[in-house]
Structure 1
């Protein structure tokens, strides 16, 4: 602990009401720019998700690059360039998300079609038996 002495005025001591003229020095005004214009979004989180998941043809990675560019331009104050990069990031994210949804749906559809085809075929097939692979391939050679 320090042994410093603190000088308080006699009418304003700690834990008591202060009767002296401690009035605010005035108001503080912070200019935030035009009130109607919102800065462009950078879609960074969406781009990260698309980059880490499937990432067909590097669409997610391209979205990530433009998201970072949009954030940099917004920081520099160039709102026109930030809006252009933001638009590109948004469209790359839309394409990457569409592809990320399309691939599992196509695989699920292929699996359903395979099961329907196997269920409608005559006889049963022993896939893990002696002639399992040959009988399975005969399904597709018709």
Structure 2
């Protein structure tokens, strides 16, 4: 009789390391399901770009793509949502850089004009 009280039919496997194949040609596979983070739609940045910095209607185009990305995400099409979200991100970056350059040029031009008017009226 088995000292632990097990019969031969219900005895645990002994001598086989945990996780190792039990016979020739047997392979164990482990599947890990990773829940991917849903793609970002950048809706807040797009609204900001549309309201405050809309050069060449880039803010409007970014807002449209953000809404499409949000709709695709709600339907479950994560690949389509990622595509529209990345397009909205690129349009938002372009609008931000363009408005930054415009503001920088206006500041430089106004400071140069201020200096030139002081010089011309100072004489």
Contact 1:63 1:90 in 2 (8 A): yes
- Give the stretch that moved more between structures: 113-122 or 79-88: 113-122
User: TM-score when scaled to structure 2?
Assistant: 0.67
Pick 1 or 2: higher relative contact order, CA cutoff 8 A, min separation 6: 2
Structure showing the higher helix proportion among its residues: 2
Moved over 2 A (4+): 118-124
> Which digits, 9 at most, give the CA deviation of each residue in 1:104-124, with x for residues without a partner?
211110011112222333745
String of CA shifts for 1:16-62, please: whole Å, max 9, x gaps. Answer: xxxxxxxxxxxxxxxxxx43411110000000000001311110000
3-state DSSP of counterpart to 1:121? helix
Alignment of structure 1 residues 123-138 onto 2, 5 Å: 123-124=122-123
Question: TM-score if structure 1 supplies the norm length?
Answer: 0.59
Aligned residues of 1:41 and 1:86 also touching (Cα < 8 A): yes
User: Which sections of structure 2, spanning at least 5 residues, go unmatched?
Assistant: 1-32
| Gap runs ≥5 in structure 1 | 1-33, 125-142
Q: Distance in 1 between matches of 2:121 and 2:68?
A: 59
Aligned length: 91
